[in-house]
Amino acid sequence: MTAITTNPLDSDLSTATLDEVRPSARERAAGVSTTVDRIASGAHEAVDRVAAAANSAAERLSSKGDDLLANRDQWLQACTGYVKENPLLALGIAVGVGYLLSRITR
């Protein structure tokens, strides 16, 4: 039977001195740093794009909200005018809607 006598400490890496390993480690660290910076830059750009899209959507919603408020005032004036012109019919409609709502919610 033959015994294996190789020592794992005798490999090429174990014979390298600390001065030989440091430059290699620094190069790898620099490569990792560059990769992290590139990924961070890409993430920052993506966040900027999302923020711009959200800002645009908020501006559009604000504009639509202003339009709805203007329409609400017009509807309120129209309903007020209708009730003043037809008070008994408006009262009958209100009673009918109230009755239906009470039946639905039971």
Burial call 42-65: b when 16+ CB within 10 Å, e when fewer: eeeeeeeeeeeeeeeeeeeeeeee
CA-based nearest residue to 30, from 18, 40, 22: 22
State pLDDT tens for residues 40-91.
888 888 898 999 999 988 888 888 888 888 898 889 999 999 999 999 999 9
pLDDT grade, residue 101 (50/70/90)? very high
Q: Is the pTM of this model over 0.85?
A: no
pLDDT grade, residue 92 (50/70/90)? very high
Owner of token pair 């408006």: 90
Q: Which two tokens stand for residue 55?
A: 């800002």
Residue 98 scores a pLDDT above 60: yes
